[in-house]
């Protein structure tokens, strides 16, 4: 059996290739040819949840990892997945969302109203100053925030969206998972009450009364 010293020696020696492998395009993929989309929440430990090492300081790394609020589809998530799947040799997409997500904790309309109170006009915004072409129609802002009614439903719809997106090659494997903050375990998204018991998975459990602006269901 190799000692850790042997492994570290090998990995550090491979570092030069690892550091420059983006130059090799599809011939220089990450170790698992994997792209991970995950919520940015610090209670979601991506490496532990998936049993991988996204990156290491001594060369090698299992995945490209994209994190945003909720771990949901956004145009930038699509952009990043498109690049890694089409040009950097990625063959698999894994999506991880989680129970008790902050994206369940308020209604998007209330967040929009709070921003208006701060003097922001969500109907007249340049979302990305470097890309003014990217615009939301009037009334689209609350949908854009992406608050969820149900994390399992959102996770399943996120998988579906990546599977069907024209920028994602059809032979890329796509799966979605829910990390249970309460039990520190990963499970498949489900609508079965028993599997969801003792975990917070709906906005109703956070006292949100109204359905979110239509995006996920």
The contact set with Zn ion (CB under 5 A) reads: 39, 41, 101
**Of 68 and 190, CB closest to Zn ion:** 68
Q: How far is the CB of 40 from Zn ion (least distance, A)?
A: 7
**Of 41 and 152, CB closest to Zn ion:** 41
**Of 86 and 190, CB closest to Zn ion:** 190
Q: What is the DSSP string of 119-146?
A: T--TTS--S-TT-TT--PPTT-HHHHH-
Burial letters 46-60, b for 16+ CB under 10 A, else e: beebbebebbeeebb
**Of 126 and 183, CB closest to Zn ion:** 183
Asked if residue 101 belongs to a known ligand binding site, the reply is yes
- The C-alpha atoms of residue 36 and residue 59 are separated, in whole angstroms, by 19
Q: How far is the CB of 146 from Zn ion (least distance, A)?
A: 11
Q: How far is the CB of 129 from Zn ion (least distance, A)?
A: 27
Give backbone dihedrals phi and psi of 36, rounded to 5 degrees, phi first. -110, 130
Q: How far is the CB of 41 from Zn ion (least distance, A)?
A: 4
Classify 161 as helix, strand or coil. helix
The answer to whether the CB of 78 falls within 8 A of the CB of 165 is yes
Asked if residue 39 belongs to a known ligand binding site, the reply is yes
Going by their DSSP bridges, the two strands 185-187 and 173-180 should be labelled as antiparallel
Going by the annotation, the residues of the binding site for Zn(2+) are 39, 41, 98, 101
């Amino acid at each position: 059996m190799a000692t850790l010293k042997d492994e570290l020696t090998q990995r550090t020696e491979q570092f030069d290739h690892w550091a420059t492998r983006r130059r090799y395009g599809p011939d220089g993929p990450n170790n698992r040819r994997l792209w991970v989309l995950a919520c940015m929440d610090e209670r979601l430990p991506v490496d532990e949840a998936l049993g991988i090492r996204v990156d290491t300081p001594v060369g090698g790394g299992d995945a490209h990892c994209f994190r945003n609020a909720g771990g949901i589809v956004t145009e930038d998530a699509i952009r990043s997945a498109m690049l890694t799947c089409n040009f950097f040799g990625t063959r698999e997409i894994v999506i991880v969302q989680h129970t008790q997500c902050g994206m369940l904790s308020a209604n998007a309309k209330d967040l929009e109203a709070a921003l208006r109170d701060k003097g922001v006009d969500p109907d007249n915004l340049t979302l990305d100053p470097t890309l003014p072409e990217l615009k939301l129609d009037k009334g689209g802002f609350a949908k854009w925030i992406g608050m969820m009614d149900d994390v399992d439903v959102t996770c399943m719809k996120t998988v579906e969206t990546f599977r069907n997106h024209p920028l994602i090659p059809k032979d890329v494997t796509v799966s979605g998972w829910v990390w249970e903050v309460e039990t520190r375990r990963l499970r498949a998204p489900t609508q079965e009450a028993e599997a969801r018991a003792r975990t917070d998975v709906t906005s109703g459990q956070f006292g949100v009364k109204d359905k979110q602006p239509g995006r996920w269901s």
